[in-house]
Amino acid sequence: MEISVVNLKKYYGEKQVLDIEELTIEKGKITGLIGPNGSGKSTLMNIISGIDLDFFGTIRYDGKPLDRSIYMNMTLVFQKPYLFRRRVYENIEYPLKVRGMDKGERIKKVENIIKRFEIEELREKKAHRLSGGESQKVSLARALIFEPKLLLLDEPTSNIDPESIKIMEREILRFNQETKGTVLIVTHNIEQSKRLCHNIIYLENGKVGYLE
């Protein structure tokens, strides 16, 4: 999915936190969003994901304004992941259930992604008892499972150990290559952005500068 942002302005009270004249997120590519704390990265992610509708300007998804079918084809993994108070298994299965996939198909997909993420030992755990890093892994698995056209990741590996980072990066790359899904990823890790991203956007004080 291609995202185009035109004349985006976002205020919290009197304070302007985003001021973006024009920005395009290329279809089928992995784009990194970097910038200092408080520069507006999460705010921009929330707006693109459709959960924050309180802004000025235009955002188009493959040329069209946000509607239900676009909304169902994208997902945001939060900086602080939110999981239901159910088993990990049910959390990962949930996006497939909402989209009406039948049970047999769901089981196959969930088992497959649990194996790929190497989180078999988390399967039966209650999601609210997971550690920060475990929650981030489960949240990424839950996001990838329904193969969204647009995947928004807000610092998905900020609490993750090096071995697990490798797994998560491998799965993000696999997702992008196999499904051609567009990815926008916020990271403070420049090495990670070099490993993963085709394009990098730099945000400072709510304004955009391109690198590379």
Does residue 40 interact with ligand ATP by CB under 6 A? yes
Q: Which member of 5, 25, 31, 42 binds Mg ion (CB under 5 A)?
A: 42
| Residue 40 CB, nearest approach to Mg ion (Å) | 8
The answer to the question of residue 39 lying near ligand ATP (CB under 6 A) is yes
Please choose, out of 36-44, 65-73, 101-109, 189-197, the segment that lies near Mg ion by the rule CB under 5 A.
36-44
Comparing CB distances to ligand ATP, the nearer of 38 and 209 is 38
The secondary structure of 1-69 as a DSSP string is --EEEEEEEEEETTEEEEEEEEEEEPTTSEEEEE--TTSSHHHHHHHHTTS----EEEEEETTB---HH
CA distance 4 to 6: 7
Q: How many helices (H) and strands (E) does the chain have?
A: 7, 9
Measured between alpha carbons, how far apart are the two ends of the chain, in Å?
22
Question: Quick one: 41 or 142, whose CB is closer to ligand ATP?
Answer: 41
Residue 38 or 170 having the CB closest to Mg ion: 38
What tokens does 153 get? 């990741």
Which residues make up the interface to ligand ATP (CB under 6 A)? 12, 17, 35, 37-43, 79
Which residues make up the interface to Mg ion (CB under 5 A)? 41-42
